[in-house]
């Protein structure tokens, strides 16, 4: 008789895990009703912008990430674009990004007429490889966008040192890293600027939304202007200083984001405590392993929890087959992203839209960019679990571990 659910056996997990996402309650309901009745549905209706819900969110979230300034925007993609414009990106500049990320890290670069240079990741931690960054630097390189992939901080010491040596900017794509810390400092405060997403799956959400962070007043003022049709704070409303779009967050989002920011410390702490327990359990099961925590990673506010599947210890079972068996047991494990970003048709077919690069400057042939570590991690090794599972309790962790153990013990059924 089959033991594994994929072969008709009983399921290991028969109840929902974690807590439903997103979380909300009376504070969010009250805040939304307050916005409604105030008739102030955008922050401009407030005499002092910092009194608005958006303003309060900016201050609270920036503080939580150890940043002096926060500029709330429409989404994470435009947060990256806004940061790039604020830092003075020029047409044809090269910006180095990792292969393992959501495509917006790199498309935001193209949208400001610069050129993403895509490099491989580190095999141990799945973050942008500083050696690959260094090897990709050319006279046209203007900056680096390390992504804290899954929320695990990239090696910011080495990235910042490389940037300093070569005179480059660093914009952290912190869209997965709400609550994450490197050596006790919040992600988004470690480079020149940071960009967060508040899209619904993220660990801080307003349905959609984003926020640009920085500790530099001048950059904060530029970001403010670029998110506000080129206005400057303190200047007349119809005076515009740069060509810029409207990236403003609504008060509805501001109200939700502010209330959600208050939930973030408890959620981050709970996820991390559960993850540490889960990690200890993973170490006991042959064929799976946690991503080890570097001592510099003082808090991992993960968007997805990453662990490693080791096919050779699963009698050569493929990652896809493992995930299929786990899904049948009641645990959805994703691969994170489908493939390294440069394998997307937009890169392989060079569908860049109306880019404006200086004469003689062109993007690389992305079909020739090889990122063997990212290829292997995404196809053969990386297992991602949704962050909301880790809002549950130890029994949720035990159920997941039991299910993995069950598949390992009965792997013969899958071969
Ligand atoms: C790493 C990364 N960067 C940027 C973005 C873009 O954020 P948004 O969807 O809010 O535009 C995302 C969104 O998933 C992301 O995962």
CB 136 within 8 A of CB 129: no
Percentage of the chain beyond pLDDT 70 is 100
Segment 310-344, tens digit of pLDDT? 999 999 999 999 999 999 999 999 988 889 999 99
Segment 8-51, tens digit of pLDDT? 999 999 999 999 999 999 999 999 999 999 999 999 999 888 89
Segment 187-241, tens digit of pLDDT? 999 999 999 999 999 999 999 999 999 999 999 999 999 999 999 999 999 999 9
CB 12 within 8 A of CB 386: no
Nearest to 385 by CA among 265, 302, 284: 302
Residue with tokens 């435009």: 78
The protein residue whose alpha carbon is closest to atom 14 in ligand 1 is 102
Q: Which fold has domain 26-262?
A: 3.40.640
CB 230 within 8 A of CB 223: no
H helical segments located in 11-75: 26-38, 53-64
CA distance 49 to 249: 12
Which ligand 1 atom is nearest residue 199's CA?
Answer: 10
Cα dihedral 208/214/217/218 (nearest 10): -80
Which member of 185, 202, 222, 308 is catalytic?
202
Question: Mean pLDDT in the chain?
Answer: 97
Pairing mode of beta strands 69-73, 210-214:
antiparallel
Segment 84-141, tens digit of pLDDT? 999 999 999 999 999 999 999 999 999 999 999 999 999 999 999 999 999 999 999 9
User: 289: CA distance to ligand 1 center in Å?
Assistant: 27
Nearest to 245 by CA among 75, 388, 406: 75
φ/ψ bin of 230: left (φ > 0), alpha (ψ from -120 to 50), beta (otherwise): left
357: phi then psi, degrees, rounded to nearest 5: -105, 150
Residues 6+ apart with CB under 8 A from 282: 288, 289, 290, 307, 401, 404
Over range 136-151, report the average pLDDT. Answer: 98
Nearest to 154 by CA among 183, 125, 189, 133: 125
pLDDT band at 6 (very low <50, low <70, confident <90, very high): very high
Residue 202 is a catalytic residue: yes
Provide the token pair at 130: 């500083």
CA distance 300 to 252: 29
Chain centre to alpha carbon of residue 124: 18
Residue with tokens 């994470």: 76
User: 384: CA distance to ligand 1 center in Å?
Assistant: 17
Provide the token pair at 209: 């939304």
CB 200 within 8 A of CB 75: no
Which ligand 1 atom is nearest residue 208's CA?
Answer: 10
User: 102: CA distance to ligand 1 center in Å?
Assistant: 6
The protein residue whose alpha carbon is closest to atom 8 in ligand 1 is 76
Instruction: Locate the domains of the chain by residue range.
Output: 26-262
Segment 188-201, tens digit of pLDDT? 999 999 999 999 99
Pocket lined around ligand 1, Cβ cut-off 6 Å: 75-77, 101-102, 104-105, 147, 173, 175-176, 197, 199, 210
CA distance 148 to 126: 9
Which ligand 1 atom is nearest residue 101's CA?
Answer: 1
User: 14: CA distance to ligand 1 center in Å?
Assistant: 32
User: 313: CA distance to ligand 1 center in Å?
Assistant: 34
312: phi then psi, degrees, rounded to nearest 5: -65, -25
User: 76: CA distance to ligand 1 center in Å?
Assistant: 5
Tell me how far CA of residue 413 lies from CA of 77, 253, 282, 287, in angstroms.
44, 49, 21, 16
Which of 98, 104, 126, 384, when mutated, tests ligand 1's pocket best, judged by the most ligand atoms within 8 Å of its CB?
A: 104
368: phi then psi, degrees, rounded to nearest 5: -100, 0
Which of 72, 73, 74, 76, when mutated, tests ligand 1's pocket best, judged by the most ligand atoms within 8 Å of its CB?
A: 76
Which ligand 1 atom is nearest residue 197's CA?
Answer: 10
Helix, strand, coil % over all residues of the chain, rounded to 5: 45, 15, 45
Order of strands, edge to edge, in the sheet holding 193-197? 69-73, 210-214, 193-197, 169-173, 141-144, 94-98, 115-119
pLDDT given at position 49: 85
CB 357 within 8 A of CB 350: no
Letter string b/e over residues 220-236, b meaning 16 or more CB atoms within 10 A of that residue's CB? bbbbbbbbbeebeeeee
Which of 72, 73, 75, 77, when mutated, tests ligand 1's pocket best, judged by the most ligand atoms within 8 Å of its CB?
A: 77
The protein residue whose alpha carbon is closest to atom 7 in ligand 1 is 76
């Amino acid at each position: 008789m089959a033991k594994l659910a994929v072969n008709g056996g009983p399921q290991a997990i028969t109840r929902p895990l974690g807590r439903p996402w997103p979380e909300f309650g009376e504070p969010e309901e009250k805040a939304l009703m307050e916005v409604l009745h105030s008739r102030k549905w955008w922050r401009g209706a407030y005499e002092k912008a910092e009194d608005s819900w958006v303003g309060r969110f900016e201050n609270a979230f920036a503080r939580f990430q150890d940043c002096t300034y926060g500029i709330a925007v429409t989404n994470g993609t435009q947060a990256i674009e806004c940061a790039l414009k604020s830092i003075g990106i020029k047409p044809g500049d090269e910006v180095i990004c990792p292969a393992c990320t959501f495509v917006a890290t790199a498309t935001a670069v193209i949208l400001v007429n610069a050129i993403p240079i895509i490099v491989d990741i580190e095999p141990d931690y799945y973050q942008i490889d500083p050696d690959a960054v260094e090897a990709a630097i050319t006279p046209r390189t203007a900056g680096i966008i390390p992504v804290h992939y899954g929320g695990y901080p990239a090696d910011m010491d080495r990235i910042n040192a490389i940037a300093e040596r070569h005179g480059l900017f660093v914009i952290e794509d912190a869209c997965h890293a709400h609550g994450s810390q490197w050596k006790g400092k919040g992600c988004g405060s470690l480079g020149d600027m940071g960009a967060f997403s508040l899209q619904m799956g993220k660990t801080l959400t307003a349905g959609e939304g984003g926020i640009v962070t920085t500790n530099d007043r001048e950059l904060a003022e530029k970001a403010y202007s670029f998110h506000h049709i080129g206005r400057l704070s303190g200047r007349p409303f119809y005076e515009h200083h740069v060509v810029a779009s409207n990236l403003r967050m609504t008060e509805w989002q501001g109200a939700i984001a502010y209330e959600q920011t208050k939930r973030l410390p408890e959620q981050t702490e709970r996820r991390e405590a559960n993850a540490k327990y889960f990690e200890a359990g993973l170490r006991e099961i042959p064929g799976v392993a946690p991503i080890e925590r570097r001592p510099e990673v003082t808090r991992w506010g993960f968007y997805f929890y990453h662990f490693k599947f080791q096919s050779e210890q699963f009698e050569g079972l493929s990652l896809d087959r493992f995930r299929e068996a786990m899904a049948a047991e009641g645990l959805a494990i994703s691969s994170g992203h489908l493939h390294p970003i440069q394998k997307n048709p937009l890169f392989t077919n060079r569908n860049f839209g109306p880019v404006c690069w200086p004469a003689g400057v062109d993007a690389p042939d992305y079909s020739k960019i090889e990122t063997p570590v990212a290829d292997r991690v995404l196809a053969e090794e990386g297992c991602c679990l949704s962050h909301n599972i880790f809002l549950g309790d130890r029994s949720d962790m035990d159920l997941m571990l039991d299910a993995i153990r069950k598949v390992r013990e009965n792997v013969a059924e899958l071969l």
